[in-house]
Amino acid sequence: MKKIIVPIDFSKHSEYALKAAASLARKNNAEIIVLNMLEMSEIMLTSTGSDQKERTMFFYKLAEQQLSTFLNKEYLENIKITPIIKHFKVFSEVNDVAAKHNADLIVMGSHGANGVKEFVLGSNTERVVRYSNIPVLVVKNELSTTDFKNVVFACDFNDDTMASYSNVIKMFDHSQINLVYVNLPNDRFKSTPEIEESVDKFLMKADGNLKRRNDVHFVCDYTIENGIINFSKKVKADIIAIPTHGRKGIALFLEGSVGEDIVNHATLPVMTFKVD
């Protein structure tokens, strides 16, 4: 991990994200790219009038000063920081910046159950994750550590989540990784032999062996979201990892808004991995 992007809106939640990114950057000798997105109208940016240009420059300089003040933190000392200011709140631009700088991770601050504050209000969390080609870590509170020793990764053990699985195994290679399948009632229900067959085929294809078979847990619940969150509480997990469908919409298994619900409702940090 060499470059980490942190979108900020100067709220306490974006500072939680910045602190988490700083911790990760120190461990990996990584650079932090701090991204602030101004909300300027296209008229203001393209107008030829001198007054409009002066106003645009004024707000840009003001943002630069605010950003400089915000980044004056002891926990950022000796970490390479690259500040970037964008003119629009266009959430696909986060991924564009990530691609341009070959970033490895996006770290975002969130209100949890109340949605994401200001910069990523409500469904904009989904938009950032949807456009992101790299993992996104959503932080709800100030983290005491980024040593995620106990990880829950939930998937349906289908081939399209195999790349996400491999990325999780690589990223958390020194951690306990709990692989979770949530079994639902009615038409979504699968028998134990059916699930076991799917899991074994998946592990053999992904790993070439069944060494992680004992790390697989079958959970029964009324919703996928509840199953993942309840299991994570039970095992006292440090982080939840989930696959997402990228531009097709955030989801686990991958339907509806399950992924977004987990990002918003789980009190734990959540890391999303795009399904290819």
CB 154 within 8 A of CB 240: yes
- Domain span at 47: 3-139
Q: What is the pLDDT of residue 186?
A: 84
For residue 261, what are the contacts with CB-CB under 8 A and spacing of at least 6?
Answer: 225
Q: Which of 139, 166, 199 is the last residue of a domain?
A: 139
Q: What is the pLDDT of residue 77?
A: 94
Residue-level length of the chain: 276
- Given a cut of 60, whether residue 113 has pLDDT beyond it is no
Tell me, yes or no, whether 109 and 183 share the same domain. Answer: no
Inter-axis angle of helices 124-131 and 258-265, to 10 degrees?
120
* Same domain, residue pair 270 and 191: yes
Give the mean pLDDT of the chain.
84
Our count of domains for the chain comes to 2
Residue 252 lies in a domain: yes
Above 70 in pLDDT, residue 13? yes
Contact status, residue 145 vs residue 23, Cβ threshold 8 Å:
yes
Query: What pLDDT is attached to residue 166?
Result: 95
Residues 172, 243, single domain; the answer is yes
Domain match, 65 and 160 both:
no
- pLDDT for position 116: 44
Pick from 2-16, 90-104, 148-162, 244-258: least confident: 244-258
pLDDT at residue 209, as a whole number = 97
Better-scored residue on pLDDT, 62 or 271: 271
CATH number of the structural domain spanning residue 232: 3.40.50.620
Instruction: Compute the distance between CA of residue 236 and CA of residue 150 in angstroms, rounded to an integer.
Output: 8
Q: Does 270 reside within a domain? A: yes
Query: Does the residue 11 lie in any domain?
Result: yes
Greater confidence (131 vs 219) lies with: 219
Looking at residues 73-94, what average pLDDT do you find? 84
Same domain, 216 and 258: yes
Write the DSSP symbol of residue 257: T
Q: Are residues 158 and 251 part of one domain? A: yes
- pLDDT bin (cut points 50, 70, 90) of residue 95 is confident
Q: Are residues 119 and 154 in the same domain?
A: no
Q: What is the pLDDT of residue 42?
A: 43
Looking at residue 117, its pLDDT comes to: 42
Residue 178 lies in a domain: yes
Q: Domain check: are 85 and 157 in the same one?
A: no
20 and 120 housed in the same domain: yes
More confident residue, 121 or 175: 175
Instruction: Extract the runs of DSSP E, i.e. beta strands, from 148-267.
Output: 150-154, 176-183, 216-220, 239-244
What is the average per-residue pLDDT within 2-27? 93
pLDDT cut 70: percent of the chain above it: 79
User: Which pairing describes strands 136-139 and 270-274: parallel, antiparallel, or unpaired?
Assistant: antiparallel
Name the H helices within 160-191: 162-171
How confident is the model over 137-168, as pLDDT tens digits?
A: 999 899 999 999 999 999 999 998 999 999 99
Predicted local confidence at residue 54, as pLDDT: 72
Decide if 182 contacts 224 (C-beta within 8 A).
Answer: yes
Q: In which region does residue 191 sit, left (phi positive, over 0), alpha (psi from -120 to 50) or beta (all else)?
A: beta
Domain boundary among 113, 139, 165: 139
Written as one string, the DSSP assignment of 18-68 is HHHHHHHHHHHT-EEEEEEE----HHHHH---HHHHHHHHHHHHHHHHHHH
Same domain, yes or no, for 16 and 85?
yes
Average pLDDT on 9-22 reads 92
Scored b (16 or more CB within 10 A) or e, 52-69 reads eeeebeebeeebeeebee
Q: Is residue 157 part of a domain?
A: yes
177 shares a domain with 112: no
Per-residue pLDDT band for 126 (boundaries 50, 70, 90) equals: low
The reply to whether 166 falls in a domain is yes
Alpha-carbon dihedral 198, 201, 202, 208, rounded to 10 degrees: 160
pLDDT at 50: 62
- Residues 22-45 have a mean pLDDT of 79
Q: Is 234 inside a domain boundary?
A: yes
Which of 75, 107, 139 is the endpoint of a domain? 139
Using one digit for the tens of pLDDT, what is the confidence trace for 202-219?
999 999 999 999 999 999
Query: By the 8 A CB rule, do 30 and 128 touch?
Result: no
pLDDT band at 253 (very low <50, low <70, confident <90, very high): very low
> Cα(272)–Cα(242) distance, rounded to whole angstroms?
5
Res 257 pLDDT > 60: no
